[in-house]
Amino acid sequence: MLTPEQARDRAADIVARARAAGADAADAVFAADAALDVSVRLGALEDVGRSESEELGLRVFVGRRSASVSTSDLSGDAMARAVERAVAMAREAPEDRWAGLAPAERLLRGAPPQLDLDDGGEVAPETLRAAALEAEEAARAVPGVTNSEGGGASASRMVMALATSHGFAAGYAATGYSVSASVVAGEGADMQRDYAHHGARLRRLLDSPAAIGTLAGERAVARLHPGRLASGGMPVVFDPRVGSSLVGHLVAAIAGSAITRRTSFLLDRLGERVMAEGIRVEDDPHRPHGLRSRPFDGEGLAVSPTAIVADGVLETWLLESAAARQLGLEPTGHAARGTGGAPGVSTSNLYMVAGRVPVETLIGDIADGVYVTELIGSGVNPVTGDYSRGAAGFRIVGGRIAEPVAEFTVAGNLKEMFLAMTPANDLEFRYGVNVPTLRIDGMTVASG
């Protein structure tokens, strides 16, 4: 695999070729990835998967017209053909008054920040197999577990580089490791499955396979013999595993494309209270060894920690350059792109700041409610904010988590849900999007 410096030079080379071929401006992304995945089931090796890829994406501008091409053939002749094709396509494309590279004055200058994303490790298949077996064995050892859907372990490394014709060229590398287990508890008509998974940029930060497996087994057993909920309005408490999806709906609603197309339930709400008082949602691209940390965005802009919601007030849209121009604003450093097409937007290490109360206090005054550990389906209207999803979890009775329940629906409207949200103090950074346990009063629950 190329080094970040070599990848940077590859991207810069095709940009220079595009300029020489008649493009007024250009940018290019080089992406390489190598991954090794091992899966086991019932104590035996099931599969070993290897993948390697290298791809280069080029975007060119001729006046206000643009076109994009990508190629995995990195030979000189293939690169020349890609440049020729991109320039020819751009000349025939319709004009787009908002298209263009990011503002030159906003580009990252100097060396990219060091975020400790790459431990340079190479893991043998035998090592991954041992980790997968250990996770599955620990899960199957939990009393009540009756079958296994398997254990898995993976290791990967990626190199990404970006170059533009107006002065930016940089690259970086990142490793990734994961271990998972999925098992079944119970027998006959009363069987339940669950899983546990952990991923980390650095191998030394990965949870032990035994701990991951044990958690998977305990989760599956805890779901046995589910009952049904009575329908009606009640407090709903979201486990962090599923509560992060609520913040995902917030992000989708404030993306530049949703605002410019006027397809957001938070349209015209910038600077207004959209979440409960005291709630803060932040995005931190500089978090050391974060799963989504990055030294620059998909247009070469410098990135920095951003408060998206502060004290419940929406502080910013998420804008790449085209949407920013259309709205008369500045790009926010959230551009994201692959090797094909124009940039979109994404957050990096997104999280909701922990609240002040422990989970026990958060649910302590709930006489009758539900603790949600699984969400099913995608019944969310991005324009109105109407929300309705299938769910499973546990009853809350007298302030305590009680028996498992399944086959019910939780419904509301995201605008009202955000304003009724209360976070606990149990935030942990385990995923790309992290939230503490969340309580929302007044939701509608319907039993299936």
CA distance 293 to 289: 7
CA-CA distance, 152 to 132, in Å (whole number)?
A: 5
Q: What is the pLDDT of residue 121?
A: 80
Beta bridge partners of 337: none
| Residue 189 confidence (pLDDT) | 86
Give residue-wise pLDDT tens across range 373-415.
Answer: 999 998 899 999 999 999 999 999 999 999 999 999 999 999 9
**Tell me, what's the pLDDT at 1?**
85
For residue range 1-27, list pLDDT tens digits in order: 899 999 999 999 999 999 999 999 999
Could you tell me the CA-to-CA distances from 137 to 102, 163, 209, 214 in Å, in that order? 51, 47, 9, 9
pLDDT per residue rounded down to tens, the chain (448 residues): 899 999 999 999 999 999 999 999 999 999 999 999 999 999 999 999 999 999 999 999 999 999 999 999 999 999 999 999 999 999 999 999 999 999 999 999 988 999 999 998 889 999 999 999 999 999 999 999 999 999 999 999 999 999 999 999 999 999 999 999 999 999 988 899 999 999 999 999 999 999 999 999 999 999 999 999 999 999 999 999 999 999 999 999 999 999 999 999 999 999 999 999 999 999 999 999 999 999 999 999 999 999 999 999 999 999 999 999 999 999 999 999 999 889 999 999 999 999 999 999 999 999 999 999 999 998 899 999 999 999 999 999 999 999 999 999 999 999 999 999 999 999 999 999 999 999 999 999 999 7
Q: What is the DSSP string of 403-414?
A: EEEEEEEEEEEH
pLDDT of residue 5: 96
Q: Does the CA dihedral 359-360-366-369 come out positive or negative?
A: positive
Predicted model pTM: 0.94
